[in-house]
Amino acid sequence: MSIPVVIADATEVGVSPGVLVIRTGALTSPPTVVVLPAEVLDGFLPQMQAAAHAAEEDYWRLLPAFRAGARSEANVELARAKEKWLHAQPWSKALASVGGVNQHPLFLIEYAGHVGLVAAAPFSQVQTFVIFDPLQLNRLAPRLLKAAAQAVQGMPGSHPHVLERLAGAHQEWTSMPWPAAPVALPSQKQAAAVVSALHTDFLRRAPFIKER
């Protein structure tokens, strides 16, 4: 890839006046901060959720491939194997098929059972490609919707220029500790139970019809 690739291992959702903030990445390194103005949320969040539903249609079929390189069933080892598999996928080719990374400063792509987000200025400090697990996005959906409503409600009365709002939000959230609160990692047994329940829920739902 010609731009940095970030696997969304951990993700936080926050709000600044008139801005929804997403911080994501590995817990062991500084997060990628994506800032979204209230004006784009009505269009962007439904697109993100639709991409997550579409990606999940392939996610469960590809799950054995994610885990094939794991040396054990330990959560850390499964995560390592999945990250290695994701980095090995031809994302550049997938992005080229939809116009390349420079087609727009903010856009989504569904590929390899995951959701890719390309974010460049003013939405991110540097152009970055973030890969989200669709199950993670599904879990975050209520939080994203709540934060979006708060961003709209918190729009400053004077409506500062969108670039000023985004720059301020980025500076604020980049300076915060990462993660904002301690992350409680599930046990191997807990993680397996969650995955099993999510798969059962998926099988009970009507298939998501992808747009062509």
Hey, where are the domains in the chain?
Answer: 5-204
pTM of the predicted structure, to 2 decimals: 0.93
pLDDT bucket at 162, cuts 50 / 70 / 90:
very high
Q: By C-alpha distance, which of 39, 8, 26 is closest to 117?
A: 8
The confidence score (pLDDT) of residue 183 equals: 83
The confidence score (pLDDT) of residue 192 equals: 86
Average pLDDT (143-152) is: 96
- Alpha-carbon Rg for the chain, nearest whole angstrom, is 17
- Apex 142 CA angle, 19 and 44, nearest 5: 50
The confidence score (pLDDT) of residue 159 equals: 62
As given in the structure block, the two tokens for residue 113 are 């059972």
Check whether 178 has a pLDDT greater than 80. yes
pLDDT bucket at 121, cuts 50 / 70 / 90:
very high
Express each pLDDT in 36-65 by its tens digit.
999 999 999 999 999 999 999 999 999 999
